[in-house]
């Protein structure tokens, strides 16, 4: 069975005509949603805490800014784009008390609905548009006239208009230019967590570190190990992105391709068992429970692990080497900020990232 894709023609902007969308939060996703919607002709208000450092940013971008409670009262659609761990507190204090029947509450990730941390009243529509890309890409691709693909879901359609409004929202974000795919909150949440843990963030960074350490421990030069294990990874991933594994194998030497077939599976022996375990922890809710408890108790373990990996040898070697390669547009992450590393580099993404709390 192939999934149905929805494109611009399947999403009628009229479903949001005359409506106001409150975008709560102005971080990675928040700024992109607010600006893309605004430029697509949707009436947008950005809901932020009175002391939020994002207020001047949003206002300078020409957006209307209000306290969260006022933004919710003003809106027909409320999109929650604060970090997943912070959503419940913001929802309980400022969103739920101001909801009224017929409003559509939206998410960009199903975590809080799926794990039962947020349970909206029965007369509220609940939907999701989850772009398959970080916020700065959602924004830059839209500006260039394209769109990043997204998943959408309707958890509850009390008004009978939820589905049309969710699709119109995805269109205003630019997603339907590339195609959107329907899912459920359960499927989106479980696959998203699995992907980032087993492969995209966790699996890949563990493989890179293990390969780097193996070379350095065997006496090879760390700088060479960096180029081999982290720098070249992008070149390989770019080939896969354009033409799948077949194009990567078409492009590399026969020696590399033969080694791929005979040695690759030795690296991941046992990996599928671990992946099934990880998926089990996600499906049972035990990962969510552990992460929420960690966040609620102050995030000490999270901070310790972050600090430890920050000083891994590959990070220190890599930062030095990248500074001499302006073409990679290098950035350094310091005190929760990402900043351009080398003069002469193009504009790097520079935005604050909230700490665990």
**Residues of this chain that bind Mg ion (CB under 5 A):** 192
Question: Which residues lie across from 283 on neighbouring strands?
Answer: none
314 interacts with ligand NAD by CB under 6 A = no
27 interacts with ligand NAD by CB under 6 A = yes
Q: Which residue has the tokens 């020409």?
A: 62
103 interacts with ligand NAD by CB under 6 A = no
Could you tell me the smallest distance in angstroms from the CB atom of residue 192 to Mg ion?
4
CA 176-178-180 angle, to 5 degrees, is 50
Q: Which of residues 46-65 bind ligand NAD (CB under 6 A)?
A: 49, 52, 54
Residue 182 contacts residue 6 (beta carbons within 8 Å): yes
27 binds, among ligand NAD, Mg ion, none (CB under 5 to 8 A by kind): ligand NAD
Could you tell me the smallest distance in angstroms from the CB atom of residue 294 to ligand NAD?
15
Q: Which of residues 124-143 bind ligand NAD (CB under 6 A)?
A: 130-131, 134-135
326 binds, among Mg ion, ligand NAD, none (CB under 5 to 8 A by kind): none
Residue 54 contacts residue 26 (beta carbons within 8 Å): yes
Could you tell me the smallest distance in angstroms from the CB atom of residue 25 to ligand NAD?
3
Catalytic entry in 33, 109, 114, 155? 109
Q: Tokens at residue 248, please?
A: 């990567």
Residue 37 contacts residue 21 (beta carbons within 8 Å): yes
Which residue of the chain is nearest Mg ion when measured via CB? 192
Could you tell me the smallest distance in angstroms from the CB atom of residue 112 to ligand NAD?
8
Q: What burial class does residue 137 get, using C-beta atoms within 10 Å of its C-beta: 0-12 exposed, 13-18 middle, 19+ buried?
A: middle
Select the span of 19-27, 55-63, 166-174, 211-219 touching ligand NAD (CB under 6 A): 19-27
Which residue of the chain is nearest ligand NAD when measured via CB? 27
Could you tell me the smallest distance in angstroms from the CB atom of residue 181 to Mg ion?
14
Q: Which of 134, 146, 153, 108 is nearest to 28 (CA)?
A: 134
Q: CB neighbours of 311 closer than 8 A, spacing ≥ 6?
A: none
CA distance 29 to 108: 8
108 binds, among Mg ion, ligand NAD, none (CB under 5 to 8 A by kind): ligand NAD
Q: 84 or 192: whose CB is closer to Mg ion?
A: 192
Q: CB neighbours of 119 closer than 8 A, spacing ≥ 6?
A: 113
31 is annotated as an active-site residue = no
- Name the E strands within 113-272: 125-131, 150-156, 180-182
Q: Which of residues 69-98 bind ligand NAD (CB under 6 A)?
A: 81-84, 86, 90
Q: CB neighbours of 250 closer than 8 A, spacing ≥ 6?
A: 243
Q: Which residues bind ligand NAD (CB under 6 A)?
A: 25-30, 49, 52, 54, 81-84, 86, 90, 108-109, 130-131, 134-135, 353-354
Residues forming the active site: 109
């Amino acid at each position: 069975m192939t999934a149905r894709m929805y494109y611009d023609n399947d999403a009628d902007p009229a479903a949001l005509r005359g409506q106001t969308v409150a975008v709560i939060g102005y971080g990675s996703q928040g700024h992109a949603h607010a600006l893309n919607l605004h430029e697509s002709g949707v009436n947008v208000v950005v809901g932020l805490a009175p002391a939020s450092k994002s207020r001047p940013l949003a206002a300078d971008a020409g957006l209307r800014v209000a306290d969260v409670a006022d933004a919710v009262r003003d809106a027909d659609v409320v999109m929650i784009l604060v970090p997943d761990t912070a959503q419940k507190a913001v929802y309980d204090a400022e969103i739920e008390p101001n909801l009224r029947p017929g409003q559509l509450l939206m998410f960009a990730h199903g975590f809080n609905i799926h794990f039962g941390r947020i349970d909206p009243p029965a007369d509220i529509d609940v939907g999701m548009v989850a772009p398959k890309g970080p916020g700065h890409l959602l924004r830059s691709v839209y500006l260039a006239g394209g769109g990043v693909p997204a998943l959408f879901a309707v958890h509850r359609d009390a008004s009978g208009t939820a589905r049309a409004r969710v699709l119109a929202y995805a269109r205003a974000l630019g997603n339907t230019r590339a195609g959107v795919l329907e899912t459920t909150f359960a499927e989106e949440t479980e696959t998203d967590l699995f992907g980032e843990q087993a492969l995209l963030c966790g699996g890949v960074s563990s493989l890179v570190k293990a390969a780097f350490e193996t070379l350095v421990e065997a006496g090879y030069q760390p700088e060479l190990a960096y180029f081999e294990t982290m720098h070249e990874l992008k070149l390989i991933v770019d080939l896969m992105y354009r033409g799948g594994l077949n194009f990567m194998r078409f492009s590399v030497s026969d020696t590399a391709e033969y080694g791929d077939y005979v040695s690759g599976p030795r690296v991941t022996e046992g990996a599928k068992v671990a992946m099934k375990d990880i998926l089990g922890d996600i499906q049972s809710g035990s990962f969510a429970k552990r992460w929420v408890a960690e966040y609620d108790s102050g995030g000490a373990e999270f901070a310790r692990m972050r600090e430890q990996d920050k000083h891994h040898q590959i990070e220190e070697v890599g930062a030095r080497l990248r500074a001499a390669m302006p073409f990679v547009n290098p950035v350094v992450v310091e005190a929760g900020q990402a900043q351009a590393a080398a003069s002469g580099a193009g504009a790097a993404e520079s935005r604050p990232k909230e700490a665990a709390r």
